[in-house]
Structure 1
Amino acid sequence: MFLLQHVSRKAPSTRTAIPPSTRLNTFTGARGLCGAAAAALLMLGAPALAQTSAAAPAAEKKSPLAVALTQHKVEKDSAGKERLVDASSVKPGDILEYRATYTNQTAKPIAGLTADLPIPEQLEYLPRSARPGAGLVKAAARDGLFGPEPLTRTVNGKSEPVPYDEYRRLRWALGSLPANGSTAVSARARVRAAAPPVPAQQPVKAGP
């Protein structure tokens, strides 16, 4: 579900259309709703093979950015305290938490880091559950225009809030990730329909 951009330009501060930019895609989709392991879908690109000679074995090229995804169901115990449990089976009304941790595996900082979280139609984003929040995250509805939460739209000349069940994407402007550093983003969503279809996984591409 999580997509990752590594770009050098600064993220816009107003609602803007989703650009057709190059991305590092780390897709998870809604696989957790069907009980499959999300880690199996976390692909930051197939390792590149460097041929040194016909006799020498090919060497794997280490990706500069490692991504670890977890997805859990949010429950409350008898005392009302929240706990995260396995999300191998879910039903409508369950709350899921998705978390992606990005680790810079190089000795140099990575600049212009942006993380995207698509929200499938079968999930409803929970208001202000994105972490980190504040000025780092923006949301988009079906129109693909990003803006700060809560989103608004104009209908018949009047401004009105966009229903949260129409939110389809979150985007974090994470900035620079220091050498060997890590950062994480997370969000919660309510299941509207059990066992939704899994979107097609997209290949990973490195930015310029």
Structure 2
Amino acid sequence: MKTKLILLALLCLGSTVQVLAQQQNGVSSILQVYNITTNEAGEEIATETTEVRPGDLIEYRLTYTNNLGNSISQLMPVLPIPIGMEYLLETASPSLEGASLSNTGNTFQRLPLTRQVRQPDGTTVTEEVPGREYRRLRWLVPSLDAGEQVILVARVKVIDN
């Protein structure tokens, strides 16, 4: 139930982002959520969904459309990753510009996200941050011509807290 609420909250956020984008810069966005399964032949099946369960493989598809009469540049869409979801590293298409461990602010780092960890012997090592700690993903769309659209994709797994 908690995961269903998380997904519904994200869907509402996607709708809010769409309205704000249209009012601010002539770019509209649509967020679609798919449950990815495989059939007997091993082929992936994408089924649009509004409910998820632990263990589900979810694919987010964000479609951004330029509704202006001219091209735009440096569009930087952000996809929030709800708590209870684990971003599956390297599943974003096109490649991500950055990611964040924070739900707020504008702090994004290039991938892979890493951190310094102090070892028991006092030394410090760099370790890669697991996908379950990613909270926001960001793409860079260098340019989008008038009337064109871009589809951004990322996959997450619903985890059991």
2:15 corresponds to: 42
2:148 corresponds to: 181
Letter of the 1:163 counterpart: P
Deviation at 1:112, TM superposition (A): 2.1
2:50 corresponds to: 88
Deviation at 1:40, TM superposition (A): 9.5
Matched, 1:122 2:95: no
CA contact (8 A) 1:32 1:88 kept: no
Distance 2:155 2:76 in 1: 19
Change (3 A) 1:132 1:176: same
SS of aligned partner of 1:67: strand
Superposed CA deviations along residues 53-94 of structure 1, whole A, max 9, x for unmatched, are xxxxxxxx8972121221110000001110101323321010
Matched, 1:65 2:27: yes
Change (3 A) 1:103 1:142: closer
SS of aligned partner of 1:45: helix
RMSD: 2.9
Distance 1:41 1:167 in 2: 18
Distance 1:40 1:153 in 2: 29
Aligned length in residues? 147
Structure 2 unaligned regions, length at least 5: 1-5, 119-123
Letter of the 1:98 counterpart: Y
> What percent identity do the matched residue pairs reach?
35
Structure 1 unaligned regions, length at least 5: 1-28, 49-60, 195-208
Letter of the 1:166 counterpart: E
Matched, 1:165 2:132: yes
1:132 corresponds to: 94
1:5 corresponds to: none
Judging by fraction of residues, say which structure has more helix: 2
Deviation at 1:146, TM superposition (A): 2.3
Distance 2:114 2:108 in 1: 11
